[in-house]
Amino acid sequence: MTAAWHVTDALALRYATGAAPEPDAWSVEKHVESCGPCAARVSAAVRTGPAGPALAALRTDLLNSVAPLPPAAREPDAVPAGRGPVAVLGRGARLWWAVGPALRGPWLAAVALVLTAAFALAHGAGVAGARGWLLAVSPLLPVAGVAVSYGRHADPLYEITAATPVGGLRLLLTRTAAVLALCLPVLTAGGALLPPVAGLPGAAAWLLPGLALTLGVLALGSFTGCRAAALTLGGGWLLAVAGPLLGGAGAAALAPYFSGPATQGAWAAAAVVCGGLLALRRRSFDHLEPR
Amino acid sequence: MNRPTTVAVTGLTVRHRRTVALDALDLSLTPGVHGLLGPNGAGKTSLIRVLATVAAPSAGRVELLGRDAARPADRTAIRRRLGYLPQEFGYYPGFTVREFVAYVAWLKEVPSERIPAAVERAVERVGLGGRIDARMRSLSGGMVRRAGIAQALVNEPDLLLLDEPTAGLDPEQRVEFRALLREVGERSTVVVSTHLVEDVAAACAEVTLVEAGRLAWRGTTAALTALGTDGEATGSATSPIERGYTSALRAHRERVGAAR
C-alpha cells in the first residue's frame, strides 16, 4: 500500500506548474482523492501557480452570476466552530438537547436574577433577612423550571416529541433533572454565602421543600398539565411564605416552614408520596396533556 | 400481491369533553399513499393523532404495524417506526435545520452512528440540502414545513402520518412533495390529511373520506374521479375528482339523514 506516501511541496509545485511527468501527476490526482492534507497542499500550490489568476477570475464570474439570489440562499448561516455535523452527535450536544428549552431560555436568567437580587439586598441595601428571602424564593425556581421545560405551552416541539419513544415521562424527567442539577447547588451555595439570619436554619434547608414541590408539580401535572400544576403549587407556596415575609416579624418568621426535623421529615414524606403518585401515573404522560 | 395490513382500526371513538370527534370508525390500510379527505372539523386531525399514538382513543382498538397501540411496550416499538408531522408544530429558533432533524432522530432512538447520514438524507429529500446549516428562525414558512417533513422522514418510518403537509408550500414545491410521497409510499404506509382535493389526485392511490367523525367513502382515487365524471356538474367544482368528492359527501349525508 502507498499509505505512507504523500505529496511533497516540490511535487505539488511541479504538478501546479504542469511540469510533473504524467505518471506522477496521476499519482497525485489519485492520492488527493483520499488525503485531505495533500489535497489542501496541492490546491494551495495551484492557486499560487500559473493557473491561479484564471481560477480566481472563474470564481469571481461564478459568484457574480449567482449574485441575484439573496445572500442567505448563497451561503448557509455561519456555523460556529464545533457545531457542525460532527459536533451534532457529540456528547456535549446531546446533553445540550436533553436539557430542553428551560436552560436555553429566560429561566436561566431568572435564576441569575434571584441570586443577584439576594446579594444586592444583603450587601448593597444591607437587608439583614436576605438569606431568608432567598430561602423562601428558591423552591419556586425548580417549579418554574419544570413549567417552562415541558408541555404544550412550554415546548414548541411538544407534539412531535409526544410521538417518539423518548418523549413523555422520560423527556420530562430528563429535563427536570437538568433543572434540579443546576439550581440545587447554585441556590444552596448562594444562600450559604449570605449572612445567616438568627432563628433560621442553614442554606440547605430549602432542598427538601424544593424537591417535594417539584415532584408535586410532576404528580399534579399528570392530571392537569405541567403549567397548571406549577402555577397552582408555586402560587400556593408564594401565598404561604408571603404572610411571614411581609408580616413585619422579619425573615425569621419563615422558620416553621424549614426548621426542625419534624418539618424536614414532613417535606421528605411529601416528596416520597408525590414520587409514588408520579410512578402510578407514569402512563398519563404517554399521550398529549389535557388542554 | 398480498400486502400486509399496517393500520387496523376498529370501533374508534374519540370524545373531546362533550363533542364526539370520531364515532365508531373502522379503517384498515396497507402500504401505499392514502389521502384523508374531509371538511374542516370532520375529525381528520383527531384520527391522525390517534394513529400517531399521541392521543388515546375513548373507545375502540388501534393496531399499528401489527402491534397494539394501547400496550405501552408495543407503543414504544410503534413510535420507533413512526413519522409524524402535526398540523401545527414549533421549533427551537436557535437550532439549525440539521440540529432540529438530528434532535428528532435522537428522540426516535435512531442509532447515533447513523444519525448524521440519516439527517442529511432526510433534509436532501425535502429539497433543503442547501440550507441544512441555516438557523430555523431564518427559514420561510414553506421551508419550515419542509424541515418538518424531514424530521418525520428521518427514521425511514414504516408509518408516515402527515397532517396538512402542503400548507405553505408553493405550487412547484407541492409537485416535488407529491413525488416524494409516492416514493415513500412504495414501501411505507403514508397517511396524508388534507382539504386540498388536488393533492389527493396527484399523490394518493387511495382515498378515505371522513365526515362528522364517520367514514363517508373509501376507494381508489380513480373511483372517486369516476364518481365525478358520471355525476352532473355541481356548482363551483371544476375537476372530476372535486365533483366526485362533493357527490360522495352528499351521498353519505343523504344516507345518514335517511338513517335518522
Question: What are B52-90's pLDDT values in tens digits?
Answer: 999 999 999 999 999 999 999 999 999 999 999 999 999
Least confident of A32-46, B35-49, B60-74, B191-205: A32-46
Which pLDDT score, from 0 to 100, does residue B102 have? 94
Distance, CA of B199 to CA of B48 (rounded, Å): 17
Which pLDDT score, from 0 to 100, does residue B211 have? 93
Task: Indicate if the pLDDT at residue B231 is higher than 70.
Answer: no
Pairing of strands B206-211, B32-37: parallel
| Whether residue A158 sits in one domain with residue A39 | no
| Whether residue A59 sits in one domain with residue A110 | no
Q: Find out whether A135 and A206 touch, Cβ atoms under 8 Å.
A: yes
Chain A residues 114-173 within an 8 A CB cutoff of chain B: 155-167, 171
Flag residues of chain A having pLDDT under 50. 1-3, 69-88
Does B107 sit within 8 Å of A104, measured CB to CB? no
Does A165 sit within 8 Å of B109, measured CB to CB? yes
Q: Any idea how long chain A is?
A: 291
Which pLDDT score, from 0 to 100, does residue B86 have? 96
The structural domains of chain B, with segments of one domain joined by +, span: 31-43+87-259
Which pLDDT score, from 0 to 100, does residue A21 have? 79
| Whether residue A64 sits in one domain with residue A17 | yes
Mutate to test the interface with A, among B67, B103, B123 (most CBs of A within 10 A): B103
Burial category of B156 from C-beta neighbours within 10 Å (exposed 0-12, middle 13-18, buried 19 and up): middle
| Whether residue A252 sits in one domain with residue A119 | yes
CB-closest option in A73, A89, A283 to B112? A89
Residue A239 near chain B (CB below 8 Å) = no
Residue B115 near chain A (CB below 8 Å) = yes
Q: Return the percentage of chain B with pLDDT > 90, whole number.
A: 73
| Whether residue A250 sits in one domain with residue A163 | yes
| Whether residue A130 sits in one domain with residue A252 | yes
Distance, CA of B104 to CA of B126 (rounded, Å): 16
Any domain includes A258:
yes
Read off the DSSP letter of residue A124: I
The band of B234, judged by pLDDT with boundaries at 50, 70 and 90, is low
Distance, CA of A285 to CA of A152 (rounded, Å): 12
Distance, CA of B104 to CA of B54 (rounded, Å): 15
The structural domain count of chain A equals 2
DSSP characters over A216-227:
HHHHHHHHH-HH
Which pLDDT score, from 0 to 100, does residue A37 have? 80
| Whether residue A187 sits in one domain with residue A102 | yes
Write down the pTM of the prediction: 0.79
Which pLDDT score, from 0 to 100, does residue A65 have? 65
| Whether residue A180 sits in one domain with residue A125 | yes
Domain that holds residue A57: 9-74
Distance, CA of B207 to CA of B222 (rounded, Å): 9
Which pLDDT score, from 0 to 100, does residue B236 have? 60
Distance, CA of A50 to CA of A270 (rounded, Å): 80
What are the C-alpha distances in Å from B3 to residues A14, B29, B186, B259? 63, 10, 11, 35
Q: Find out whether B197 and B39 touch, Cβ atoms under 8 Å.
A: no
Q: Name every chain B residue with its beta carbon within 8 A of the beta carbon of A108.
A: none
Stronger pLDDT, A266 or B94, i.e. the higher one: A266
For the segment A216-247, what is each residue's pLDDT rounded down to a tens digit?
Answer: 999 999 999 999 999 999 999 999 998 888 87
| Whether residue A123 sits in one domain with residue A46 | no
**Cβ-Cβ contacts under 8 Å for B141 (sequence gap 6 or more):** B168
Is the CA virtual torsion A147, A153, A157, A159 positive or negative?
A: positive
Q: What is the dihedral of CA A113, A118, A122, A127, to 10 degrees?
A: 110
Residue B96 near chain A (CB below 8 Å) = yes
| Whether residue A249 sits in one domain with residue A123 | yes
| Whether residue A280 sits in one domain with residue A165 | yes
Does A88 sit within 8 Å of B134, measured CB to CB? no
| Whether residue A188 sits in one domain with residue A281 | yes
Q: What is the dihedral of CA B218, B193, B13, A227, to 10 degrees?
A: 180
Distance, CA of B242 to CA of B240 (rounded, Å): 5
Q: Over range B9-28, report the average pLDDT.
A: 93
Distance, CA of B53 to CA of B84 (rounded, Å): 10
Does A97 sit within 8 Å of B88, measured CB to CB? no
Residue A85 near chain B (CB below 8 Å) = yes
Classified by CATH at the fold level, domain B31-43+87-259 comes out as: Rossmann fold (3.40.50)
Q: Name every chain A residue with its beta carbon within 8 A of the beta carbon of B98.
A: 85, 88
Distance, CA of A2 to CA of A125 (rounded, Å): 74
Cell numbers that stand for B131 in this block: 440550507
Does A77 sit within 8 Å of B138, measured CB to CB? yes
Residue A287 near chain B (CB below 8 Å) = yes
Task: Indicate if the pLDDT at residue B215 is higher than 50.
Answer: yes
- Looking up cell 442529511, which residue turns up? B120
Which pLDDT score, from 0 to 100, does residue A23 have? 78
Any domain includes A37:
yes
Q: Find out whether A246 and A263 touch, Cβ atoms under 8 Å.
A: no
Q: Return the percentage of chain B with pLDDT > 70, whole number.
A: 96
Q: Name every chain B residue with its beta carbon within 8 A of the beta carbon of A157.
A: 89-92, 103-104
Q: Over range B116-134, report the average pLDDT.
A: 96
DSSP E strand stretches across B164-257: 189-193, 206-211, 214-220
